[in-house]
C-alpha cells in the first residue's frame, strides 16, 4: 500500500504540484533534445499536463485543507482547469534550451525534497 507523508502538504504547495511536475518532465525532454541534437523545440504536451494533474490528484488526500468545502469545491475544479489549460496550450512549442534551463533545477529540487522527506520519515515509517 501507499504511505502518506508524515506532515500534511500545504494547499499552496499543492496548487504548484502539476506545474512543478510538468516543468520537470519538460526539462528532461529539452535536455534529451539538446544532448542528442534531435530537436530544438519541445511541444507542450497535453499528456504531460495530464500526468501532472494525476500526480496532484494522487497527493491531494495528504493536503491540510483549512475548510472541509475546499476538499471538493477547490480540489476538483482546479484540477479540471489545469487539465483544460494543458490541452489548450498543447500545440505551443518552447525552445529546448528554455525548458532545460527551467526544468532541470525544478527536477533537482523535487528530488532533493524527496530525499530530505525520506530521511526525516524513515525511522517513524512502517510502510511496505
Q: Tens of pLDDT along 33-74?
A: 999 988 889 999 999 999 999 999 999 888 888 888 888 888
Write down the pLDDT at residue 84.
Answer: 95
Residue in the block written with cell 471538493: 72
The chain-wide mean pLDDT, for the chain, equals 86
- pTM above threshold 0.85: no
Query: What is the C-alpha radius of gyration for the chain, rounded to an integer number of angstroms?
Result: 16
**Which residue from 18, 12, 8 is spatially nearest to 85, judged by alpha carbons?**
18
DSSP H helical ranges for 37-123: 46-59, 68-73, 75-88, 96-121
Q: How confident is the model at residue 6 (pLDDT cuts 50, 70, 90)?
A: low
Amino acid at each position: 500500500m501507499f504511505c502518506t507523508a508524515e506532515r500534511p502538504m500545504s494547499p499552496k504547495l499543492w496548487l504548484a504540484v502539476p506545474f512543478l511536475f510538468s516543468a520537470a518532465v519538460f526539462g528532461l525532454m529539452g535536455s534529451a533534445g539538446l544532448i542528442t541534437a534531435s530537436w530544438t523545440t519541445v511541444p507542450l504536451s497535453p499528456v504531460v499536463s495530464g500526468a501532472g494533474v494525476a500526480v496532484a490528484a494522487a497527493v491531494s488526500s495528504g493536503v491540510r485543507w483549512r475548510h472541509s468545502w475546499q476538499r471538493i469545491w477547490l480540489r476538483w475544479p482546479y484540477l479540471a482547469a489545469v487539465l483544460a489549460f494543458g490541452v489548450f496550450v498543447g500545440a505551443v512549442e518552447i525552445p529546448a534550451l528554455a525548458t532545460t534551463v527551467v526544468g532541470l533545477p525544478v527536477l533537482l529540487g523535487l528530488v532533493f525534497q524527496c530525499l530530505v522527506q525520506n530521511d526525516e520519515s524513515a525511522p517513524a515509517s512502517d510502510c511496505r
